[in-house]
Amino acid sequence: MKSFLGFLFGVFLCLILSLFAGESPTHVLMVLLKSAFGSKYDLGLTLFYTTSLIFTGLSVCIAFYAGMFNIGAEGQLIIATLATAAVGILFPNVPSSLAPLFGIGVAIITGGLWGFIPGILKAKRGSHEVIITMMMNFIAAGIASYYVVGALKSTTSQNPESEMVSPNYLFKSFDPISQFFQDSPANLSLLIAIFLAVALHFFLFRSIKGFEIRALGQNEEAASVAGISGVQLKTLCMTLAGAFAGLVATNEILGSAGKFQLGFSPEYGFIGIAVALMARNRPLRIIFTAFLFGALQKGASDLDLETNAITRDFAKILQAVIILSVISFALIPLNFEKVKKWIKKQA
Amino acid sequence: MDQETGLALSTLLISIARGAAPLLFAAMGGLLSERSGVIQIALEGMMLMGALFAAITSYFTGSPWLGFAAGSLAGLIMAGLKSFFVLKLRTDQIVTGTAINILAVGIAPFITKILFQSTGSTPNLPIEARFVYAPLVISFLLSGGLMYWFSQTRSSLWVQFAGEAPQALQASGISVGKVRLFSLLTCGLFAGMGGATLSLCLASAYSPNMTAGRGFMALAALIFGRWRPLPTFFACLLFALTDAIQIRLQGATTGIPVQFIQILPYLITIIALAGFFGRSQAPKGLGQHI
């Protein structure tokens, strides 16, 4: 509830900011709303963004629980998407019943590896995970740009993108969501993302390992006295964080585009931070906050055309201001019971 | 030494100094902030704002010095914003820093679009609106000054105690909040200068994301340098050296793809932080609210 107030306050502030660019705030708001929900196609795109944001939100979330800050979801999802595309191009003969599963497996493993490295460095050597994951982001971007203009380069397209993966990898033939949202990139991955959020909820709150992770994140010393190994769990959580972010590849490669396009991600990894924060780290709430930020992202993409002075980068300002106002509102001692009582009294 | 190797050596030294200057500004600022107990993830955003406003001011006034001042002021304002959240509202320091970084990335194109109708860059600056070497000298003087201040003066102890034992400092009648505010604002000032160095001296305009992770590298340098000025100084020189090698290798035909060579500084940063040269001990009160 506080988070939602923080969200509204953040949006309000940003709309005021648009006055500086000489645009009317109501017009900007209408563009945002219309572009996010205006038609079935628009809604499909919003859900497409939502899917990736659920994955990165969960990625940031699981690391938070173990007391770490995963700023590296961006690199993890890029390397996983690249690997999935590479496998789809280089091994076209995998039987079509296995190919999508194989692709998902590759995404999980490469993303997981990209999380494992900062995880084990943090757990064993105490290296600051924020800097390591940031550097891993740059390295992932470098590797991706090398392969996309090099070995995997499309022979037909002028854009910096890879070849198409072999069609047996794609969800298309058995994908109810993409059949419903025709022409839009929304796909089966949405269900995978929602399932993952539910699974993570039960893992964290109904399993022993999950309890240990939460104990570790809240008080490392107390946890270690209780015999919980911080080294093992921190590594595990960062690896899981990487794997979750890596699943963006299912949304991007297996579900929709079918090829690796340079710059496909509007920094899902960083928006994931806002998604997880606003959900106060509850996996189930992440589904809804991801939808809100997906709508913002889609909404902002039309600002370029519909306004004179505001670009799609406005989404970045929105995200930052929303993060700041959400974390500030969380600290304000608002008592909703009192407010409710007061309203009752008046009535 | 014959003339040719002498020339090659001096170009290498100059390119190290050029690469080190922005890192030094940011790392020395970050050092001050972290020693006072405030985690400084937002160096990147402060540098970016510094670079942008330095380029804009220098473009309109034609004076690089005014640009330099505006850049450091922009860093200061970002730091002020951060200290409002971190010191006043007591929000999480890492998350707030990340939000400041995202904000900087978003604000830059917002402003260039209003001023120049471009989605990210400022127009090229004429040669007289740029620096040749002044910021490099300032960065080295500043590092020296900070080293002296940290080792020789009483006032620096306040900063160090605010990070190591905030309660003790508070008990002795000094406001930890004020010491941290001072450190954070000075950090912003320095980081802004680092950004200004990028757009006014190393390049000839502001271009999107021109900091390219230097804020994080500066942070890595100061952790690698164990939060002490002199080792941090050398860590910055080391990172600048890898960067200089990286640029040199790009020109040569080595058979190694350019993209992989560009990764080199980031890789070195990871190796440095992995503690293969000994672990570093952070200030005890780092990240604690008082």
Find the range with the poorest average confidence among A217-226, A337-346, B27-36, B251-260: B251-260
**A216 within some domain:** yes
Find the range with the poorest average confidence among A9-13, A46-50, B65-69: A9-13
Report residue B210: phi and psi, to 5°: -70, -15
Q: What is the pLDDT of residue B150?
A: 86
Q: Which helix (H) or strand (E) holds A85?
A: helix A73-90
Decide if A311 and B106 are in contact by the 8 Å CB cutoff.
no
Low pLDDT (below 50) residues in chain B: none
How distant is the alpha carbon of residue A265 from its chain centre?
10
Confidence of residue A247 (pLDDT cuts 50, 70, 90): very high
Pick the residue of A61, A120, A130 with the most B CBs within 10 A to test the interface with B by mutation: A130
Which residues are registered as beta bridge partners of B25? none
**A36 within some domain:** no
**Domain total in chain A:** 1
Q: Give dist(CA B16, CA B225) in Å, integer.
A: 18
**A277 within some domain:** yes
- In chain A, the residue whose alpha carbon lies closest to the alpha carbon of B220 is A131
Q: What is the DSSP letter of A124?
A: I
Q: Give dist(CA A73, CA A64) in Å, integer.
A: 13
- In chain B, the residue whose alpha carbon lies closest to the alpha carbon of A276 is B95
Q: Give dist(CA A255, CA A274) in Å, integer.
A: 25
Q: What is the pLDDT of residue A115?
A: 95
**A211 within some domain:** yes
CATH number assigned to the domain comprising residue A149? 1.10.3470
What DSSP letter does each residue of A259-291 carry, written as one string? S-BTT--SSHHHHHHHHHHHTTT-HHHHHHHHH
**Residues A278-334 pLDDT 10s:** 888 899 999 999 998 898 888 888 777 777 777 778 888 888 888 888 888 877 766
Q: What is the DSSP letter of A153?
A: B
More confident residue, B114 or A69: A69
How many angstroms away from the CA of B287 is the closest CA of chain A? Answer: 13
Confidence of residue A336 (pLDDT cuts 50, 70, 90): low
Q: Average pLDDT for residues A222-246, to the nearest whole number?
A: 90
Tell whether B77 lies on the interface with A, counting CB pairs under 8 A: no
Which residues are registered as beta bridge partners of A261? A161
Residue A269, token pair as written in the block: 């990894």
Decide if A21 and B98 are in contact by the 8 Å CB cutoff.
no
Residue listed under structure tokens 């020693």: B35
Decide if B110 and A21 are in contact by the 8 Å CB cutoff.
yes
Confidence of residue A164 (pLDDT cuts 50, 70, 90): confident
Q: Give dist(CA B40, CA B159) in Å, integer.
A: 15
Residue B92, token pair as written in the block: 């999480």
Per the CB < 8 A criterion, the answer to whether A122 and A68 are in contact is: yes
Q: What is the pLDDT of residue B276?
A: 62
Report residue A39: phi and psi, to 5°: -145, 175
Comparing CB atoms, the residue among B96, B110, B279 nearest residue A324 is B96
Confidence of residue A153 (pLDDT cuts 50, 70, 90): confident
Which candidate, B139, B119, B130, places its Cα nearest to that of B199? B130
**A167 within some domain:** yes
Q: Give dist(CA A173, CA A176) in Å, integer.
A: 9
**pLDDT mean across residues, chain A:** 86
Domain that holds residue A87: 50-292
**A103 within some domain:** yes
In chain B, the domains with their CATH numbers are: 3-273 (1.10.3470)
**A114 within some domain:** yes
Which candidate, A185, A156, A188, A168, places its Cα nearest to that of A42? A185
Answer yes or no: is pLDDT of A264 > 90: no
Geometric angle at alpha carbon B269, from B265 and B275, rounded to 5°: 150
Decide if B103 and A317 are in contact by the 8 Å CB cutoff.
yes
**A32 within some domain:** no
Dihedral sign (CA A181, A187, A193, A195): positive
Q: What is the pLDDT of residue A62?
A: 94
